[in-house]
Structure formats: structure tokens, C-alpha cells
Structure 1
């Protein structure tokens, strides 16, 4: 086994979803790009995104309206300049996706010369502005981007490789100059060895951290790796108390994380109690089209009040051909579980879905560390505020991929590859004979995060969670020091770090706003500010 393999590239992109692949494609004409994928390259949150991507394409819609809707959904905690920047660049970036071959649904009267895209509406939007590919938009985007990446000679994709940690000039003893990212140590899961990547620039496109919760709509790779690595490298993070719980995840013993798109409610689906009665109008005048935090809390409240395992989502009152045309993927998938959505209500529960906070970046995706960028769900741009509006996430990915690529391309020739990166040293560690420790700690973390840092919180619950996190971190830090790395160990180490940051953010916010709802501070404050944590300032 060769444990000292080295790679070099101009730009290392950690993550192979919409953000990472879009950036790689934009940079590839001018430099060598290496893309790291933790699993198969399609196994990320993008692939499972059903709803669509928001952009102003309708002549009755406006950028101002998109900005206003985003602010309202984000409980006015969004950075308005950033929201406007993204909304103004949305159409051009979506057009870039169309030119890349993403097959968004078109109207019947659409022509090649004058394409007219079918726009749907989702919770929080005042207009129809969601472009989609049936109910599998993320899959269509992922596959189109992958095809383009596959055909580009300047892009290499390494599948089944974890980023282990960022390499910085200060970490390797170069303390005189400003700190800069030089590359990363990566874990080759096939060879079970640590390898080194030297790069001029590193881009974190690792997605969110919803795997920290027991119930999640996210794939297993969403373990907060980029947030934890950036924090360890000295970058600030913000707003990690705002974790979005998607209101409607399928409740079925054989389906762990199947999401039921918000577009179902956009097209008229009702939420019902087990007795068939509707309840959303009792919680919000927008009923089923209220923002996700409102809907998730309502479902959670009704489940607890009634002692019910789930609520029900019902679109069976719509014509069958309408349902099967608009939601073919969901229709087929649920038919496999014995649920015919043209006739039956669908059992649903909330599940952790999206990390609204993350690594702080500027308008170009730059973090606090020279040469390090963060784009997509791993980042905090200011777009989402206290709650992400539906279909703004894929949009943020492609707009910041464009913006970061523009900035990197302007500075490519100003940076040289480091020639003095030390190789990873495994001489003092042994193989673990206690993998059960990791499994036990993993389950404990996800369970208490769900119970104590979930949809409804209290200070006492948050403090309980923090005490347990500190104990688990001590165990895992000791474990990490003594044993060879493994996929589960790396992910658990990162999740524990992000869990701590989530709880710290939640304890600092003395109000209920958006996705952060605490019984101890039920009202909103008049002051509006993000929660910022800085690794250079001790707790």
C-alpha cells in the first residue's frame, strides 16, 4: 500500500453537487481542476432535490418581489444586498444551466425559438417562479452537470475520497506570511490511505450537516465536513442555530429519507390529521403555503398534541392525470410502498433538511482564510436568514459558483503551488479494535440532537446537549489521536464539531425567529443580527 500518494491541481473542489460541479465547469477552460467526491459523484443533496430552482422568468414577476419574498421567509434576517445580488443574477445563471443541457419543463406552447418554461409556485413565493424538471429537478441538474464534467479534459473527479483536513501555511510552520490554504489531506476509501493534494485554491462545496439529526431527508454524506474543516482552519461561522426541518418527509418503515416536495402543496395538496380534518389554516392564514418553519412546527405540534406518529399530505382531490404528470417520480416511488397518491393520503413527518448557516463568505465566496472559498449549503452568504425559502438553495449554488469562479480566474496567475507540504504521519497510530465506540457515539449524538436541538427548544435542553457533546468530543479526540482514520470516524468527528457550533449559536440567540423556536424566549427581538462565532475568540 502506497500511503504517500500526492496530487496537484490549480483548484481543488471538495464536493460534487450543483455548487462544486458548476464551479469546476466554469474554471476548467483556464486551469486544472480536481473534484473530490465522498461517495459516488452523484450521491449528494443536489441529486435528491425535487422541487426546482427559483428565478424571475415570468413578465408579471420581478426581482423586487423575489427579494421581498426571501426576506419575509427569512424572518427579515437576510442580508438584503446579498439577496438582491442573487436574485438579479438568477436568470443568467439558470440560463447557463439550460445551455448546459438541463431539461427544465416547458409549456405546451413553447418553441425552440421562444422557449416558455413551466413555472410552479412553492411556499413563501408570491409568484410562480420555480423552474423544474418534473419532480426530479436536482437529478436532472446533477446528471447534466456530470455529463459535461465527464467530457472535459481539465477536470478530474476522485470518487470515494474524503477530505480529512485543510493544509494551511501556519499549520506547517510558515508563520511569517499571512495564513493561506495550500491544499488538503484526503482519505482514499478504496486504498484506506491518506493522500496529499497541493492546490493554489480550495473550494468547499461539501453541503450541509443534517446528518447530525436522527431524522433527515439528506443522504448519508451530509455530515458537515466543510464547516468543521473551515472552523479548524480558523474561519468564522454564522447562523448555525437555523436548521430547516422539511415539513413533509415520507413516514414509512422502508423509506428512511424520502422527501415529498413542497411543490405538492404548491399545486394544491392539503395537510390533514389522521381523522381527515385540515389544520394549517388554524396556524397561519397562508395555510399549506406558509413557510417551512411554520408548517413544520404545526405538524410537530399536532403530532405531540394527538400522540400521533404522523400527519397526512393529500393531493387525491386533484385529477389523477394532473397528479401523475406533475409528480411522476413521487407517484411511482410511493406506488412501490403501496400508496397511490391519486387516491390515498401520504403519511408524513418533519425531517432535518437544510443547514441555513455555515462558513462566512463574501460576495465572491471567499472565507476568512486566503485561497479558501465556500459555496452552496456549506456557506453562510446571508441569503437565507432565519429560514430558507423553497428553491433558493440550488439558485445560491449556481450564482456563487459563477461568482467564485470569476474571482479565482482573476487571481490564478498570482499564486504558486506550495512545494513544502509534509506527508501524513501514521507511524504512531494503530488499527482500531473498538469500532463499536464510534457506532454508539454516532447514535447517541443524533438522538439527543433531535430531542434537544430540534424543532422546539429550551435553554435547559440546549445545555444538556452541550454537556453530552463535550463528553463525546473528548472520547473522539482521544480516539482520533490513537487510531487510523476511517470514514465513520472522520464524519463523527466533524458532526460533533458542527453540533457544538449549532448549540453555541442557539444558546446565543435570546429570541424565537424563523427556524429557531425556543420556549424560553418566545418573542422576536427588534434587533436584527446574525449569530457569528469566531474560532480565534475563546468561548
Structure 2
């Protein structure tokens, strides 16, 4: 390994998904010198995971809806979400998203005649919220120019190794640059935006650079965590289009079969529970949850794979039921065909995958960790979700607390 190099900056941001990008951008807009380091290329992490069309961003429909939304999040959190973080999140999400749009980021919106469709109700939620869609394409069109405009220094292929301290204050981090050179970047403040823990699992719906590095470094430095046990598991494609997310809004049009051609659910459901009801409930959320009878689909998939030794369970879509669904589902299948070359008419094999973290580093309303000089944002943090998470709040979390940290 080559000799250690050293550089200095005011703010060091580690991670270049939506949380890191927001943190770097808002730090730089404050007039300080910002360095954005990322383990691989710029624009990486779960924000740019190629196995989905993009990400929903949800917020309260109005100021009047804020209290109801806070109540819903805390209820889904099952007593382990932190009320102060939930309130900060809900009160700031719409304004934070609108600011990015004002900077030139194009966001998808439901067409006026379609915004009342049930497909726009977020996962685990019971009513419509304000919905916006964020795509990788739109981010890539706008973010490079914004980062350049505000003078953010980019350090790609810098794999973080360890945080450094001056006395008890975090003062930077060591990196391996391009796998061979040790680099020490000193900073007055460090913002971790390194993503969740799903990359630690063999079967995962994340990019390979999501490895829990930030959480691990912070723990070794003495930081506190919250809700690490709450992870999201989702169903994804094995073949064709490996690691593509199965869109939950299509569950009611999905049929699953055993290796011998039997209907999976009719074979494995407990007596008195119907296939139709399980699929209807499962269509309400992408991640697995134990809260309703929707759990029996995921359990049936797991049991079938364990007993058969196969890597995936056969899925066939009912084309007529797909056509009866709305604009949101059409957008998904159009993307699936264009980006993955997969048609709804094909035999698809699916399996459970690890997807995302609901917990992580403990932060306060100002995105401060328990360590002086260390901030964090995005999926490497926890407390604003709890046990189950409303769909569309993971990416929104990165935007809101990324901005606050910056």
C-alpha cells in the first residue's frame, strides 16, 4: 500500500445516495468547503439501485393532515419510533422536496384524474398522501450541475475504513483510494450517509456497496444506535431480470406455483384463510409484515423454497387483472419491459430478499449523532420509522435529514 495522503475540508460527507447528495449540496450552499467521498462511483447506493423504476416520496396532503400522518407513523412504529424525529420529518418533508424541485429536479406526479387511485396509497398506510415520484434519470440530469455549481469536491472510489477523533470530537476519516492508497480526510464536521445494512445479506435488493460501513465505523467510535433489528424483506425476481423488485401493487394479479404446478397458496394456506384475501392484503405493502394475514404469502414462499431446494418460486401474472389496475401499475410494467426486458407474459421466478433498514444510528432533530462533530442522514439512521415504515418515507428521510445535516 502506498504512503498515506492527507487533505482537509470543512464538511466531509460519506455516501452519494440521496441523503449524501442532499447533505453535500446544502452544506455547500452554506458557503463552506465540502468534500463528498463515495466507495464507488458518484451516484451510488440504494438510491440508484437498478432493480426498481424509482422511488415514491410521500408527505402530508396538507397542514391539517400532519397530525394524522404523525399518528399513523407512530402507530406503525409499534412503540419504538421516536416522536420528536417523526414530527420533524412530517413537518419538513413537503418543503424539503419542493425545494429540490425548485432547483430543477423533475418529479413525477399523479395525473389529476388518477391521483385518487388506490395504487397511490403508500405501503402500510390507510389513506392517500401527497405523492411525488423520484427517478434515477431525473437525479442524474440535475445533480451533477448543482454539485458543480456549489463547488462540491468529489472523491470517488474512496472506501471508508475508520472515523478519526481529536480528543472526543470526530475529525475526519481514513479511506482506501482505488484499493491501494491510504487517504486521511480531516474535517470540522462529518456527515455519514452510507446506507443501511441490507448489503450484509447474501440475497439483497441493494447495490453491492451498501455494506453497513458507516454504522460500523460509528459504533466503533462510540455512537449509539436504535431499532437495528427492524429490517425490511421484500419479494424480488430471481429470473428473468434478477434482483428486480416485485411491485406490491401487482399482487392481486399474481399467481404463484409450486415446482409440480400446484397453486402455492391453495396448497400452503391455513384452513379458513383465502388466497384472494391474502393477496389483497399483501398488495397494501411491499415489505413483509407480521401484522395481517398477508404474512402467509411470504411464509409460503419461504417454506416452498426450503423444501424444494429451488432458488425461486414460479410467478405468472393474470393479464386481465393487470389491465384492470391503474396508472401506477402501467408505469411499473412499462419500466419493466423497457429497462429489464421482462414482459408480464413471461414465467418469472421470485424469492424473498433483504431490502432495507428501518433502524440505524441514533440522531436528534438536527441530525446529530451521540458523538460531537458527527452527523448522519438517510438509511444509516433510525428512530423516524420504527417497526413498519410507510412507503415513500425512506427516500424522503434521506432528503429531509440530509438537508438538516447539511
Give TM-score scaled by structure 2 length: 0.83
Q: How does 1:147-162 map to 2 (within 5 A)?
A: 147-162=144-159
8 Å CA contact 2:28, 2:151 repeated in 1: yes
- Is the partner of 1:329 in helix, strand or coil? helix
Relative to structure 1, the CA distance from residue 166 to residue 90 in structure 2 (aligned partners, 3 Å threshold; closer, same or farther) is: same
Q: Compute the RMSD of aligned alpha carbons.
A: 3.0
1:284 shift after superposition: 8.6
CA distance in 2, matches of 1:394, 1:186: 26
- The match for 2:66 is 63
CA shift for structure 1 position 144: 4.7
Aligned to 2:256: 273
Match of 2:315 in 1: 312
Structure-2 separation of matches of 1:270 and 1:64: 34
Larger deviation: 370-379 or 92-101? 92-101
Please report how far the alpha carbon of residue 79 of structure 1 lies from its aligned counterpart in structure 2 after TM superposition.
1.8
Conservation of the 8 A alpha-carbon contact between 1:10 and 1:33: yes
**CA gap 1:386/1:108 in 2 versus in 1, 3 angstroms:** closer
Unaligned runs of 5+ in 1: 111-115, 171-178, 406-539
Please give the residue correspondences for 1:65-80 in structure 2 after superposition, counting only pairs within 5 Å.
65-80=68-83
Q: Does 1:182 align with 2:163?
A: no
The equivalent of 1:328 in structure 2 is 334
> In structure 1, how many angstroms separate the alpha carbons of the residues matched to 2:205 and 2:316?
16
1:256 & 1:285 partners in 2: Cα distance?
Answer: 25
Secondary structure of 2:161's counterpart equals strand
1:54 matched to 2:43: no
Aligned residue runs from structure 1 range 493-508, under 5 A: none
2:299 to 294, 301, 314: 301
Tell me which residue corresponds to 2:371. 369
SS in structure 1 at match of 2:99:
helix
Report matched runs for 1:333-482 at 5 Å. Answer: 333-334=339-340, 336=341, 339-341=342-344, 343-344=345-346, 346-380=348-382, 382-405=383-406
Shift of 1:46: 0.6
* Matched-pair contact (CA < 8 Å) for 1:57–1:91: no
Q: Could you say what secondary structure the match of 2:288 adopts? A: helix
**In structure 2, how many angstroms separate the alpha carbons of the residues matched to 1:315 and 1:9?**
56
Is the Cα contact below 8 Å between 2:122 and 2:285 reproduced in 1? Answer: no
On the 8 A contact 2:124/2:389 being kept in 1, the answer is no
Q: Residues of 1 paired with 2:216 and 2:334: CA distance?
A: 38
TM-score of the two chains, using structure 1 as the length reference: 0.63
What SS does the aligned partner of 1:359 have? strand
Compare 78-87 and 389-398 and name the one that shifted more: 78-87
Partner of 1:468: none
> Of the two, which has the highest radius of gyration?
1
C-alpha displacement of 1:288: 2.1
The SS at the match of 1:151 is helix
Q: Say whether 1:34 aligns with 2:22.
A: no
Q: How big is each residue's C-alpha offset from its partner over 1:433-476, in whole Å with a ceiling of 9 and x where there is no partner?
A: xxxxxxxxxxxxxxxxxxxxxxxxxxxxxxxxxxxxxxxxxxxx
Q: Would the aligned equivalents of 1:303 and 1:311 in 2 still touch at CA under 8 Å?
A: no
- Shift of the 365–276 alpha-carbon distance from structure 1 to 2, 3 Å rule, reads same
Q: Distance in 2 between matches of 1:315 and 1:99?
A: 41
Matching residue of 2:94: 91
| CA pair 285-153 structure 1, distance change in 2 beyond 3 A | closer
Alpha-carbon distance in 1 for matches of 2:161, 2:365: 27
Alignment correspondent of 1:467: none
Match of 2:245 in 1: 259
Task: State the match for 2:283 in structure 1.
Answer: 288
Tell me the equivalent position of 1:420.
none
Residue 143 of structure 2 corresponds to which residue in structure 1? Answer: 146
Structure 2: 5+ residue runs without aligned partners? 266-273
- Quick check: 1:167 aligned with 2:164? yes
Match in the other structure for 1:249? 236
The CA distance in 2 between the partners of 1:360 and 1:68, in whole Å, is: 21
Q: Give 3-state SS (helix, strand or coil) of 1:292's partner.
A: coil
Instruction: Give the aligned partner of residue 228 of structure 1.
Output: 216
